[in-house]
Amino acid sequence: MKMKRLSLALAFTLAAAIFTSCEKNSTYKLPILGYTDYEEVNGKVDTIYHTIPAFGFLDQDSAMVTKETVEGKIYVADFFFGTCPTICPKMAQQMLRVYDQFKDNEDFAILSHTIDPEHDTVEYLNGYAAKLGVNDNETWHFLTGKKEEIYELGTAAGYMVQVREDPTAEGGYIHSGAFILVDKEGRVRGFYDGTIPEKVDVLMNDIKILQAEYAD
Amino acid sequence: MTSKYFRQNMRINIIGSCLLLCICLAACGPSDKSSSDSNNNAAALDNKERQYFTNGRNLYETYCANCHMEQGQGLGQLIPPLKNSDFLLANVPAAARWIKNGLNGKIMVNGKTYDQPMPANAKLTPLEIAEILTFISNSWGNTHGGVTTEEVIEVLNQQAN
């Protein structure tokens, strides 16, 4: 009889453990990505994380968006171009999901950088955003500016993704389909394939984990 | 207490725990997101047409779904839908030309204007285009019926003249 009660207890403990493992562990933190440096200051070692460098681009409403605009905000960045025949529409469809879920959040933003600024002017991006159903520039900024600066921001010095011109590629550009998650201090906290719905589910969950980190 | 009774009870217990475990594990799994289209017109097609339809689905995923999306729903007012699209259904098989050569300029689909260029797919053969047309004009509620390779060749030639 004792054995029976023991095995019953064991089964319940196991079940309980499995149930709780489903829940999000509130103490889990997303990693801080990129090259980390250490500096000695007054005998103490400071950790210096990789952060997104300063930038300045115009959005679809001709508003200047800089590093300061997104300071204190959790944001998602990506690279696209308006006439892209390959992965961009899929990325836009997925980014719309992220937008719909978090747009009412004051400390949340999305930065979509065009990599074809000659074609994707402020005027063009204004129409592009409206056609996607994004009617204001409160949350989602479609950014254009100097080509070199946009490309520089994509490199290891910035978002650490693949962005370049390539005449042999379909549409003329090679660019990563990544959605990059950046925290309130400008540190990169995750990369997600913006063309795969399941990966974007993970991103949306990670945004909540990151929000919880600041809620403590 | 007999050991037989005890053992039997244990077995029920173990089966019970396993069942509970399975339920718990299933609860953890991702929700089922089937992208298959149950609202297609394949039943109305003959064998050859159905073969076109099946091949067309694979080609659609490779060449078209990035923009027109997996359920033919399009994207906002950027990419027009193929699902219940008056523009598409009024232009089968002529749409073969747009698939092959692309499409530029404004078009009106279900009362909305679209003005995003569609890229050409010059490498697609008439057979492949017929398969794609058969798939898109018989999926997601569309019920056009089969499209033959001969029809596609004819409209492509018309344009050349």
ipTM score for this prediction: 0.72
Residue B3 shares a structural domain with residue B48: no
The beta-strand segments (E) located in chain A are 37-41, 44-48, 56-58, 64-66, 74-80, 108-114, 140-143, 163-165, 173-175, 178-182, 188-193
CA distance B71 to B91: 20
Tell me how far apart the terminal alpha carbons of chain B are, to the nearest angstrom. 96
Number of domains in chain B: 2
Phi, psi (rounded to 5 degrees) for B98 = -70, -40
Residue closest to B150 by CA, chosen among B127, B128, B131:
B127
Tokens, residue A15: 């079940």
Chain B residues with CB under 8 Å of A22 CB are 24, 27-28
The average pLDDT across A18-47 equals: 79
The answer to which of A21-25, A31-35, A61-65 has the lowest mean pLDDT is A21-25
Confidence at A165, pLDDT banded by 50, 70, 90:
confident
Q: Confirm or reject contact between A110 and chain B (CB < 8 A).
A: no
Residue A170: the pLDDT is: 74
Residue B97 shares a structural domain with residue B128: yes
CA dihedral B39, B66, B62, A170 (to 10 degrees): 160
Residue B13 shares a structural domain with residue B71: no
Tokens, residue A154: 């994509």
The average pLDDT across A179-186 equals: 97
CA distance B65 to B74: 9
Residue B21 shares a structural domain with residue B89: no
Residue B66 shares a structural domain with residue B97: yes
Is the torsion defined by CA of B131, B136, B138, B144 positive or negative? negative
Question: Which of B24, B25, B62 would you mutate first to test chain A, the one with the most A CBs within 10 A?
Answer: B24
Confidence at B12, pLDDT banded by 50, 70, 90:
low
Contacts of A11 (CB under 8 A, 6+ apart): B13, B16, B17, B20
Distance from CA of B72 to the nearest CA of A (A): 12
The average pLDDT across A6-11 equals: 64
Confidence at B159, pLDDT banded by 50, 70, 90:
low
Looking at chain B, which residue has its C-alpha nearest residue A198? B30
Tally Cβ neighbours within 10 Å of residue A136. 11
Distance from CA of A174 to the nearest CA of B (A): 16
Residue B70 shares a structural domain with residue B23: no
CB contact under 8 A, A18 and B66: no
CA distance A216 to A205: 17
The average pLDDT across A172-188 equals: 91
Residue B9: the pLDDT is: 62
Q: Confirm or reject contact between B102 and chain A (CB < 8 A).
A: no
Residue closest to A105 by CA, chosen among A138, A128, A132, A154:
A138
- Predicted confidence (pLDDT) at residue B160 exceeds the cutoff of 80: no
Peptide bond into B93 cis (omega under 30): yes
Residue B19 shares a structural domain with residue B35: no
The average pLDDT across A169-178 equals: 81
Which domain range does residue B20 map to?
1-30
Q: What is the DSSP letter of A50?
A: -
Q: Which CATH number do you get for residue B142?
A: 1.10.760.10
DSSP string covering chain B: --HHHHHHHHHHHHHHHHHHHHHHHHHHSPPP-----SS--GGGS-HHHHHHHHHHHHHHHHHTHHHH-TTS--BTTTB---TT-HHHHTTTTTTHHHHHH-B-S-EEETTEEE--PBPP-TT--HHHHHHHHHHHTTSTT-------HHHHHHHHHHHH-
Residue B3 shares a structural domain with residue B57: no
The answer to pTM > 0.80 is no
Residue B59 shares a structural domain with residue B106: yes
Q: Considering CB atoms only, which of A18, A85, A90 is closest to B25?
A: A18
The average pLDDT across B108-126 equals: 94
Residue B22 shares a structural domain with residue B93: no
Which residue ranges form the domains of chain A, and what is each CATH number?
A: 8-49 (no CATH), 56-215 (3.40.30.10)
Residue closest to B96 by CA, chosen among B134, B70, B58:
B134
CA distance B130 to B53: 9
Q: Confirm or reject contact between B157 and chain A (CB < 8 A).
A: no
Tally Cβ neighbours within 10 Å of residue B136. 28
- Predicted confidence (pLDDT) at residue B137 exceeds the cutoff of 60: yes
| pLDDT tens per residue across span A71-118 | 999 999 999 998 887 788 999 999 999 999 999 999 999 999 999 999
Residue B5 shares a structural domain with residue B51: no
The average pLDDT across A8-23 equals: 59
Residue B93 shares a structural domain with residue B137: yes
| pLDDT tens per residue across span B52-100 | 999 999 999 999 999 999 999 999 999 999 999 999 999 999 999 999 9
